[in-house]
Every structure is written in structure tokens, then in C-alpha cells.
A and B are shown apart, each in its own frame.
Chain A
């Protein structure tokens, strides 16, 4: 679940700590383009935590790791990286504007886990919370990954993930356009 979003929001926070964020904002290159590169790299790098978790489950806790369709699983992983990177980019925009955005996004971690059905099916939640989860790309990315692993439905979930990712990307581009606000 942390693949993408968490490392992405961490990258701009690190830029702020190092004092390089004002230069990034002032540079003629679009901030979204700069942050996108960091986010994709961070998301791809953090795939190792996903692989490590699967390996730990298999080796230490005897959890069977069986994938019904390897090709679909890889595709779902790719879509997940892109969608999570977009979500991370959206959070990055908050990081540029607000010094303490990191703490507030940390606060959202458990609710997002719940409404996205990370460990407990979101269908067990109250209908309102379940509806919130359907608006978030991680929910569909997780469903697509599970579908690819168990032989269940995958394509509709991937389509939903991409469909939600596009407006997220648009919001990111728009927010990076209004970067005249001085960073802290």
C-alpha cells in the first residue's frame, strides 16, 4: 500500500529539509515534471518492499504466494505504480504549500487503509465509507492485484484505476501551475 504514495510525498519533504525546494519551484521547468520523475523513481524503488513482504510471508509465515496470471499481475503492478505515483504527486502539491503536510498525510494512513480494503474488505464498512474508498485509486489497484493473483476479475478494476488516475493527474498539473505561493 505504501508503494508510491508514501515515498512520493517524502521526496519533496526531503527537498524542503535540504533547502533545495525553493530552487525547484523557481526553476523554469514545471514542478510537476520534476516531482513526477522523483515519484516514479521512488515508487519503482519501493517495489522491493512489496517483494520483500511477499517473500517474508512465504518464508517466515508459510503464506502461499500463488499468482494465477503472471502477466496480468505485472500489468496490475505497473498500473498501481502509476496510479500511486499520481496520488503521491497530489500529496506533493500539499507538501509545497504546507510545511506540516507530512503529519496530516500520516494521519490519513489508517483511514485510507480501511476504506481501500487493505486488510479487511471495504464491503464490511458502512456504505458511506465504502463509497469514499471507491473514489481512491489504491482501492482499485489492490482489487486488480488480488484478481490477477486469484484468477478473479481484473480488467474492470484496472480500467477504474486508470479512469480515476487521469483526473488526479489533471489536478496535479493544475496545482503545479499555481506555484507562485512561496514555499516555506
Chain B
């Protein structure tokens, strides 16, 4: 029972306590307005350049919209953990690190799902993106998988944030990279090879492709390989985050440098 309590309640409490964007004003502007405006901007750009129809950008930006919660969230939460002085308590606790991290991943993944779903809904209403009723459930599952994988990356970056000083810069850099190389706005086959490889190494590229194929009418079974790939990528980042955190923890104990980074 204790691990479940740690997973659910611990994750919920850390999310409520450390994620400062949950204030209504900030949540509204950062989580609800900005992703929609981003989608409208790229849809307008795509329409002017005659690259693709608006639904291409609606789906791409809906999936990538989860980065505001899933990438920034864990990074800011970890930075807040350090700023508020609760990091030593976390390090000193005997709690299972993997359960602690999974517990912290779940709220951000659900938050990302909400942002993506909302962006998709607004996009389909404003830009007339055609999404059939039967596609809603597979799309929701795809968005959840993408958001969970993205949260894995966010946790990994949050752990890296323990070692570097300028965490917001890191978050901005990764969010911009995902906007460029995830295939949300520029098709992967149009990118240079290096950027394409980077896009495939980051979460969301498979999720975006899967979501587009589902919106085109393909069944969930046809994109199961893509979703499995997205899960694997997310797991790799999750394992890496646990590893980085363990390394930072060891370094902190031996050199007492964790809170000085």
C-alpha cells in the first residue's frame, strides 16, 4: 500500500506544491492560450506557404502542445524543489526512487493530455480540422502516450537541471527544438539528416505521425508500432532520468555540490 500511496499521493502533492503554473492566471495563459496561438500562427504560415492544409498543423501542434506541461513542468518542479530547500529531504528519504519518479511523471502526463486535447478541440472548431467521432478515442490514447513519453524527457531534463544553473534556458531550447524537429510543423523528410535523427530520438515525432494517420482514418492497430516506439523512447528517457538523478545524488553526498549548481 505504501508504494501506491507514494506513487499517487506523493506525485499529486509534489505536482500541486512545485508546479507554479497551476495558478489560474498562469494556467490560462500558458496552458490554454499559448498553444492555441502557436497553432494558429503555424496554420497561418502553412496556409500562406501552401505547404499543407490546416488539419496538418492542428494535429501537429496539438500533440506538441503537451510540451508546456510535460517538458517545462518537471524541469520547473525540480528547480523549485531545489529553490524551496526540499531537495535534501527527498535525497535523504528511503523512498524508492523509481516510484517517486513515476509518481511525478503521471500528473504532468495527464496535464499534457489536457493541453493537447484542448488545443485539438479548439483547432478543430476554429480551423475546421475534420476529426470523426470514431477517431476521438484512438486520438486520446495517442495523445496520452505522447504526453507520457514527453514527460519522461521532461523528468530527464529536470534531473539534468540539478547539475546546471540555467534551467529555463534548457527548457526553452528543448521546447523550441521539439517545435522544429518533431514533425509538428515541418515534415521530417524535409529536414536535414542530422535534425531528422534528432527528431526521431526525441519523443512526439512518432506520436504526431500516429495522430495524423488516425485522423486520416487509419485504425489504431495500423499505428501500434508507432505508439510502441513512442513508449520505448519515453522509457529510455525515464530510465535516463533515474540514472542522472542517482548520479547527482551520489555527487551531492560526496562533494556537497548539489545545491550549488
Contacts and interface: CB of A to CB of B under 8 A. Distances in A.
B30 A107 contact: yes
Interface in A28-57: none
Given A100-B25, A100-B26, A110-B40, A119 B34 contact: no
A173 interface: no
B37 A107 contact: yes
B44 A120 contact: yes
A113 B33 contact: no
B41 A113 contact: yes
Nearest to B30: A103
A114 B41 contact: yes
Interface residues of A, number: 14
Contacts of B26: 100, 103
A124 interface: yes
B257 interface: no
Q: What is the interface residue range for chain B against chain A? A: 10 to 19
B14 interface: no
Interface in B22-54: 23, 25-26, 29-30, 33-34, 37-38, 40-41, 44-45, 48
Contacts of B37: 107, 110-111
Given A107-B34, A107-B37, A114 B29 contact: no
B48 A120 contact: yes
A23 interface: no
Given A103-B30, A120-B45, A124-B48, A110 B38 contact: yes
Contact of B33 (A107, A114, A120, A124): A107
A46 to B, nearest CB: 14
B20 to A, nearest CB: 9
Contacts of B40: 110, 114
Contacts of A106: 29-30, 34
B100 to A, nearest CB: 28
A126 to B, nearest CB: 11
Interface in A130-178: none
B44 A114 contact: yes
B45 A119 contact: yes
A14 to B, nearest CB: 11
Nearest to A121: B48
Contacts of B25: 100, 103-104
Contact of B41 (A104, A107, A110, A121): A110
Nearest to A114: B41
Given A107-B29, A114-B44, 19 more contacts: A100-B23, A100-B25, A100-B26, A103-B21, A106-B34, A107-B34, A110-B37, A110-B38, A110-B41, A111-B37, A113-B41, A114-B40, A114-B41, A119-B45, A119-B48, A120-B44, A120-B45, A120-B48, A121-B48
**In the A-B complex, the 5 residue pairs with the closest CB atoms:** A110-B37, A110-B41, A120-B48, A107-B29, A107-B34
14 contacts: A100-B25, A100-B26, A103-B30, A104-B25, A106-B30, A106-B34, A107-B29, A110-B34, A110-B37, A110-B40, A114-B41, A120-B44, A120-B45, A124-B44
